[in-house]
Every structure is written in structure tokens, then in C-alpha cells.
Amino acid sequence: MSARGPVLFLCPHNAAKSVLAVAEFDRLAQQRGLSLRADSAGTDPEAAPSPAVVAALCADGIDVADHRPRRVTLEDLTAADRIITLGCDIGALAPPEASIVSWDDVPPVSRDLEGARRAIRQHVEQLVTELAAEQGQTGSDAGEGR
């Protein structure tokens, strides 16, 4: 079973947590040879991504300097296979059939960047494993035949 759309990561400003989550998700999906996609948005977007997040990801070889935070739309929510919220409430904007999961245990990036990264990494590893299983792949054969 393949996902009908991307995993959508949402945080209030689309400048820190959701940016980290997409970067981690894309990295892990690529490592496992999975054709999974991720996107991000915010409920009250900032003008630019967090400089600390940009620097941390750059140190890992991931360039997000050109990321432009944007406001989540109904179209984003409708197209997403999974919606992951990181400290924001999408309230009535969410379609009734939407699959929404809240990762409320991720600390604020402004107070604990490394703690936030660890928590996001753990959640993303579990999510990618779950999505791979839905696609009929395991960690050992996910890269074969793709």
C-alpha cells in the first residue's frame, strides 16, 4: 500500500520543528530506499527559518537556508497522507477524515535544540518504519528493487 500524499509536518512558525522533521524524514526515507515524501507548513509562519536550525542542519550537510516558512492550507491538509503537529493546533481547519498525530513531547528548539532533534529523530524513525511496513517493506529489504 503506498501513501496517497506526503506526510505533512506542522509547527506554529514553520521555522524550526517542522523543518527539522522534514529533513530527518527525507534523510531516513532516502537511506531506506523508500519513495516517501514530506512537506511542512505553519499556523503562524515566520519570515525565515530559525538560524540555529539552519546552522545545525548545515553541519549535517543539509541545506535549508532557502526554506521559506508558509501558512498551512486546506489543500495541504487534504492532500496529506499523515499530518503530524509539533506544538500547534490546526483546529477546525483539519478535514474530518484527516489522520492527525501530535508530537507534543518535543521540547522548544529555542530552549533545547539537541533535545528537540533527538525527540524528532525518534518519532521519525518510528513513523518511517510504520510507513515502510504499510508499503510492504521491512528495514532489510526496503532498498531492494527500488
- In the chain the domains, ranked by start, together with CATH numbers, are 7-134 (3.40.50.2300)
Neighbouring CB atoms inside 10 A of 36's CB total: 21
CA distance 146 to 133: 15
Question: Using an 8 Å Cβ cutoff, are 119 and 24 in contact?
Answer: no
C-alpha cell at 81: 497522507
Neighbouring CB atoms inside 10 A of 42's CB total: 23
Count of helix runs (H) and strand runs (E) in the chain: 4, 4
Residue 137 confidence (pLDDT): 60
CA distance 55 to 64: 9
The pTM score is: 0.88
Residue 30 confidence (pLDDT): 92
Q: What is the pLDDT along the chain (146 residues), one digit of tens a residue?
A: 344 579 999 999 999 999 999 999 999 999 998 889 999 999 999 999 999 999 999 999 999 999 999 999 999 999 998 999 999 988 788 888 888 999 999 999 999 999 999 999 999 999 999 999 987 765 444 443 33
Residue 44 confidence (pLDDT): 95
